[in-house]
A and B are shown apart, each in its own frame.
Chain A
């Protein structure tokens, strides 16, 4: 569905993502793990163009998307209109939720369809209520985000993304900002989404969750893919890559 080919991102002298190739297939669940500062989040943000690439290309359904070259041959982002319509098909869930605090839960979930897709309010409302029911927050629909727990906020954020009917969901450390007892409710929301066959890329530090969810686990360090494999390969005791091994020993 989406292919990253040799994507590169530099912040000053630091190379955050160093010529990485990644193919995301329909219905696939990819989990990216690795130490902090390894470029996982930057890579994720490249997929929905929140981070621009300094080299390489991004293909959507086999066609180059999002960038063109200016007269001097540098990559520049396409017109806003193009980028926005690409983004509207990719959902993203942030570590710190980023719910819109001035809107109720229901308004948060309706906002995308109404403003971006120009859906009629009644239609958007029906979709939103349905999604809030799925994440178990129907009773909180008229509450402002400030009055929710972290787990509830993240479930609303998931519903908000899903309201756009995305083809792909990106999760950027969705449980890192949560109290430990609230992690479970967010995981089960993501799991039920997986059960419906949603394509997703997840960055997480929760190894148990990674093992349970992933079709494919990618271990990233210093902006590169160090290891790629199935969960059983990565999490079995027989890992022979020393850096992955060292990381696993620390986190497990």
Chain B
């Protein structure tokens, strides 16, 4: 309020001066210098008024001072959220010099400052969405293939682990020891960057599938072994007493009883898997994480990271709910 009054006073003082003879009219350099001083003193309203007093150049005259004064005033007005006045000044410049880049850029800034955040978010989403959707598809393909491979691998390893043959159980013990004991990232690096030195070169996709499959088989194997060993020993005896072989007992009696017990821990693993697929972005696979990262690097727009996070959340939520339902369905034979 105070600054406003001061500005008005200033104006009134200036008007008679401006109305004086041409010789007494302050030159454009003087006005610019005065306004700059006011800016330094933080008297911005007065500064804008003085900037505006710089006259438009006559045809053939140098336009530099005029453009500069209008730009400075427009920037001050923009910082005060006076979008209309600010863009008015830009248009004054453009009327004189239609190709002035500075004024055009400022107009763009004014426009984007006027659009609400959520509108901007949607606009960005529209731009990034096709890329993200495609990348999500790749993430899902990786998850689904690993979900098919690893239970099979896990079962073979689990049965090997509980085998009475020392060689077999020892071998699979080593397998689990290595694949659970080292980072998945390192395993992926080894498969993609390390194997070529042994003459095995894999494309990113098979390398990613192999890495995830081997790693998750090891984890699922231990879960399955635990589940098989948790089944009452009497079940195996009852099966044997009917004359069943070891494999018949396993296939018909023991393994089916592990299904329900397997769902919660395996569901956990598969949810971890969704997130672990992000690691294959390091071996040149374009999946959700890498796509988001690429868009971010190109635009420095943080929203793309939020969008990627949202997709991961949606996927993990779907898994959580489906595994819960599956567990209930597999438990129909229980009296609860």
Is B234 an interface residue, CB under 8 A from the partner? yes
Chain A: interface residue count, which band?
20 to 34
- A-facing residues in B235-275 (Cβ within 8 Å): 235, 237-246, 248, 252-253, 256-257
Once A101-B257, A111-B252, A115-B252 are accepted as A-B contacts, the answer to whether A96 and B234 lie under 8 Å apart by CB is: yes
Contact A115 B248 (CB under 8 A): yes
B334: CB under 8 A from chain A? yes
State whether B237 touches A164 (Cβ < 8 A): no
Give chain B's interface secondary structure class.
helix
Stretch at the interface among A82-90, A125-133, A183-191, A195-203: A82-90
Is A40 located at the chain interface by the 8 A CB criterion? no
Please tell me which one of the listed residues A80, A87, A96, A146 contacts residue B242 in the complex, with CB atoms under 8 A apart: A87
CA distance A99 to B237 in the complex (A): 11
A98-B234, A98-B237 known; A111 vs B242 contact (CB < 8 Å): yes
User: Are B238 and A164 in touch, CB under 8 angstroms?
Assistant: no
User: Considering residues B243, B332, B334, which has the most beta carbons from chain A within 10 angstroms of its beta carbon?
Assistant: B243
A146 and B335 contact, CB distance less than 8 A: yes
A116 CB–B CB distance under 8 Å = yes
In the bound complex, residues from chain B placing their C-beta under 8 Å from that of A146 are: 333-335
Known: A94-B234, A94-B238, A111-B252. A84 touches B244 (CB 8 A): yes
CA distance A94 to B242 in the complex (A): 12
Known interface pairs A94-B234, A98-B232, A144-B333. Does A87 touch B240 (Cβ–Cβ under 8 Å)?
yes
CB of A100 within 8 A of CB of B241, answer no
Residues of B close to A111: CB separation below 8 A: 242, 252-253
Tell me if B238 and A115 are in contact (CB < 8 A): no
Measured in the bound complex, the distance between the Cα atoms of B240 and A90 in whole Å is 11
From known contacts A81-B245, A100-B235, infer whether A147 and B253 are also in contact, taking CB-CB under 8 Å: no
User: B245 contacts which chain A residues (CB < 8 A)?
Assistant: 80-81, 84
- A-contacting residues, B115-136, CB 8 Å: none
B253: A residues at CB distance < 8 A: 100, 111
Contact partner, A101, options B239, B240, B333, Cβ 8 Å:
B333
Chain B residues whose C-beta falls within 8 Å of the C-beta of A38 in the assembled complex: none
A69-93 contacts to B, CB under 8 A, are 80-81, 84-85, 87-92
| Most chain A C-beta atoms within 10 Å of own C-beta, residue among B232, B244, B257 | B244
Q: Using a CB-CB cutoff of 8 Å, which residues 15-59 of chain A contact chain B? A: 48, 50
- Whether A102 sits at the interface, judged by CB under 8 Å, is yes
Bound-complex Cα distance A196 to B117 (A):
87
Q: Which residues of B contact A174 (CB under 8 A)?
A: none
A157 to B, closest residue via Cβ: B238
Is A175's beta carbon under 8 Å from chain B? Answer: no
* CB-CB nearest in chain A for B243: A88
Q: Is A151 an interface residue (CB 8 A)?
A: no
Q: Which residue of A lies closest to B241 (CB)?
A: A92
**Given known contacts A111-B252, A115-B248, A115-B252, A102 and B242 CB-to-CB distance under 8 angstroms:** no
The chain A residues found within 8 Å of chain B, CB to CB, are 48, 50, 80-81, 84-85, 87-92, 94, 96, 98-103, 111-112, 115-116, 144-147, 157, 160-161, 164
Chain B positions within 8 Å of A, measured between CB atoms, are 232, 234-235, 237-246, 248, 252-253, 256-257, 332-335
List, sorted by A's number, 15 A–B pairs whose CB atoms are closer than 8 Å. Answer: A80-B245, A80-B246, A87-B241, A94-B238, A100-B235, A101-B257, A102-B333, A103-B333, A111-B253, A112-B242, A144-B333, A146-B334, A161-B241, A161-B242, A164-B242
